[in-house]
Amino acid sequence: MSKQNSDDERTALTSNDLTELRRTFRAIVDLRDRQYGFPAKTYTSCFVGREAVAQLIKSGLAADVDDAVRLGNALLHAGIFHHVQRAHIFKNEYLFYRFASDEDHGGLPNAVADGSLVKWSDFFGIVTSAKDTDGALQAALPTPDAELADMDQIDLEAIGVSPLDEHNARLLDNVHPKKWLDPEPKSSYNLVVIGAGAGGLVSAAGAAGVGARVALVEAHLLGGDCLNVGCVPSKALLRCAKAAADVRDAGRFGVRVNGKVSVDFGYVMERMRRLRAQISPMDSAKRYSAQLGVDLFMGRGVFTGKNSIEVGGKTLTFAKAVIATGGTAAIPNIPGLAEVPYLTNNSIFNLTELPKRFGVIGAGPIGLELAQAFQRFGSEVTVFSRSEQIMPKEDPEAVETVKASMQKDGVTFNFHSVYRRIEGKDKNGPVRVVLEADGMEKVLEFDALLIATGRKPSLAGLGLEHAGVAFDARLGVTVNDKLQTTNPDIFAVGDVAGRYQFTHMADCMARLVIKNALFFGRDKVSDLLVPWATYTDPEVAHVGLYEKDLQERNIPFTTFKRDLSDVDRGIVDGIAAGYVKIHVEKGKDRILGATIVGGHAGDMISEITVAMQAGMGLGALAGVIHPYPTLAEAIRQCGDAYNRERLTPIVKSIFHNLMALRR
């Protein structure tokens, strides 16, 4: 199908849909002459907004009043009807509206007299920032490794899922059915999505949910990294590791554990596989094809033109497309590494035996979370970092707190690592990391080696050049602020197009793209306020600007901090380290950024994120009642500290004198 024919067909579909909706709407409203005012003025062939809302709900076209008002405004904006004086948008009030076809003049302007603008995208929930939040509050992330473009990537299909026990068999039945048969392609699709990770699944489900014809293409496992080799399995392991640490530390609470505490690693991994399989139906082929009505194609999708994709020898023609292929582990160019067995996040969850000596190359979130977990399981863990620090983007105080906790667990850190080579004689033998130290060689031997040096966008073999989509090997697909690529019909979401490589970010980007691609939205990714968390023990959670960002941007600020060891719940829980730190605009209570370190910090940061999103200041948070005793009281206490600071000596003197007069 030619591009011109495709455009014509899309236009015809939209026109037909609007024509049918107009016909249905006109049939249910009460059209007659109306009189209003003194002396009375007659308005011919009108309907009343309030009555139309009731009919929309009664007929089933709208679920409630809000839904009916949104639908009515969408029709008004499309030029189907308008207020008789063009003075109002569609409202649930006693206002007169007339169909444009009953007028003898042209169509409607985009905005009516009261300045309101109604878009089809109004049918979706707001995903961008609120009125007092702007893109300037989003923290800068470290730039990708300069060598990232030359790093290798793992072929996910070559790794597979093992062992093939009942849990993994159930997982595969859901996310990559063995006897899956691709459907026959439809003549065209409103949306084709390549990649079935978080961003791709949300894109496909959301678009299908509003009536779009959708095709989803996945080469490996539905659910992507998050379900299969990321968030779900890793957090299952971390919970077991936390249980082991709690038992070993139980003595300080008077709980005596007689005998040696040991970890059944085989059971830990079996539990992870069982829980992963339990969650997998939500991302399953059956759910997306049978329940959501998505055409699912299992295979590698390759662009063959600006509006076409080929998968398994079949061509899919689309009006819009979303690239959601994510990223995979980036493998550094260390001599000898390619010749030895090593693990990445894509293969570590296939382990069935605990390695006695466990090496981790990389000191970011993935490496640190797994390093601490395996140390708590009983491995002897060494973490390698090329610099002098871990978690390079986080607050320095948070970094020191996490490092101290991991060292207490027994983790060894090797900073300023200069790799000469990696050695290993056979597949089942030990792996040796050979470092350069003071002109000499330092050799460390491990039973397993995890590579966690970052992630690289998955771009290979997509045929992006055929689609007119620009990309960079380090940064991924080039997108504008609306997540649109250099081909205006193609969008990109998730790790393949952004530096905020989080599942929740991919989800939010997908929601934004549905609005922008299908409903003429103008939402901007730069408006999003993105929190994140690293799930070490203690956790580190952050939103907004860091102190270093504020200093670099010359933004005057004041910091309020509350140590969890000074909060009543922290005291009774025996918490020795952790804090809530909130930065506000100097002289004001506008929150610019916050870091929380402690147990469940990832849950606690949401309160501050909501406040920032809604334009709620730190002083106002002091007035929010928090259950007692909870760690979240530390947030309220930061608000109390802000309010106390406002009591200058002059104000205190006035209050003192006032109280004296009233005694």
Return d(Cα 263, Cα 242) in angstroms, integer: 11
- Would you call 391 helix, strand, or coil by DSSP? coil
Return d(Cα 82, Cα 49) in angstroms, integer: 10
Please state which CATH class domain 342-452 belongs to. Answer: alpha beta
More confident residue, 613 or 648: 613
Q: Report, as an integer, the average pLDDT of 379-398.
A: 94
Q: Which of 627, 544, 629, 632 is nearest to 580 (CA)?
A: 632
Q: Say if residue 9's pLDDT is above 60.
A: no
What does DSSP assign to residue 280?
Answer: G
Beta bridge partners of 311: 314
- What are the tens digits of pLDDT across the range 263-302? 999 999 999 999 999 999 999 999 999 999 999 999 999 9
Q: Say if residue 313's pLDDT is above 80.
A: yes
- What are the tens digits of pLDDT across the range 166-198? 999 999 999 999 889 999 999 999 999 999 999
Tokens at 22, concatenated: 């107009």
In 10 A of CB 369, how many CB atoms? Answer: 22
- What are the tens digits of pLDDT across the range 591-602? 999 999 999 999
pLDDT bin (cut points 50, 70, 90) of residue 651 is low
List, as one string, the DSSP characters of 519-552.
S-----GGG----EEE-SSSEEEEEE--HHHHHH
- Ranges assigned E (strand) in 95-170: 96-99, 152-153
Q: Which of 175, 208, 217 is nearest to 315 (CA)?
A: 217
Q: Which of 158-167, 233-242, 266-275, 303-312 has the lowest mean pLDDT?
A: 158-167
Match 């580190």 to its residue by tokens. Answer: 540
Return d(Cα 85, Cα 97) in angstroms, integer: 9
Q: Which of 85-89, 109-113, 400-404 has the lowest mean pLDDT?
A: 109-113
Residues 6+ apart with CB under 8 A from 129: 135, 527, 528, 529, 613
Q: Which of 477, 471, 473, 472 is nearest to 491 (CA)?
A: 477
pLDDT attached to residue 2: 43
Q: Which of 446, 430, 440, 456 is nearest to 384 (CA)?
A: 446
Query: Domain extents for the chain?
Result: 3-118, 342-452, 538-650
pLDDT attached to residue 112: 38
- What are the tens digits of pLDDT across the range 538-566? 999 999 999 999 999 999 999 999 999 99
List, as one string, the DSSP characters of 46-106.
EEEHHHHHHHHHHHTS-SSHHHHHHHHHHHHHTTSEEETTS-----SSS-EEEEGGGSSS-
Tokens at 184, concatenated: 């026959």
Please state which CATH class domain 538-650 belongs to. Answer: alpha beta
Task: Please tell me the total number of residues recorded for the chain in this structure.
Answer: 663
More confident residue, 654 or 144: 144
Q: Which of 428, 438, 190 is nearest to 317 (CA)?
A: 190
Bin 369: left if φ > 0, else alpha if -120 < ψ < 50, else beta.
alpha
pLDDT bin (cut points 50, 70, 90) of residue 631 is very high
Tokens at 302, concatenated: 């390759």
More confident residue, 264 or 60: 264
pLDDT attached to residue 481: 92
- What are the tens digits of pLDDT across the range 118-142? 334 344 443 444 333 344 688 877 7
pTM for the whole thing? 0.81
pLDDT attached to residue 650: 67
**Arithmetic mean of pLDDT over the chain:** 88
Longest CA pairwise span in the chain (Å): 101
* Sheet of 579-585, strands arranged across: 532-534, 539-544, 591-598, 579-585, 557-563
- The dotted CATH code for 3-118 is 1.10.10.10
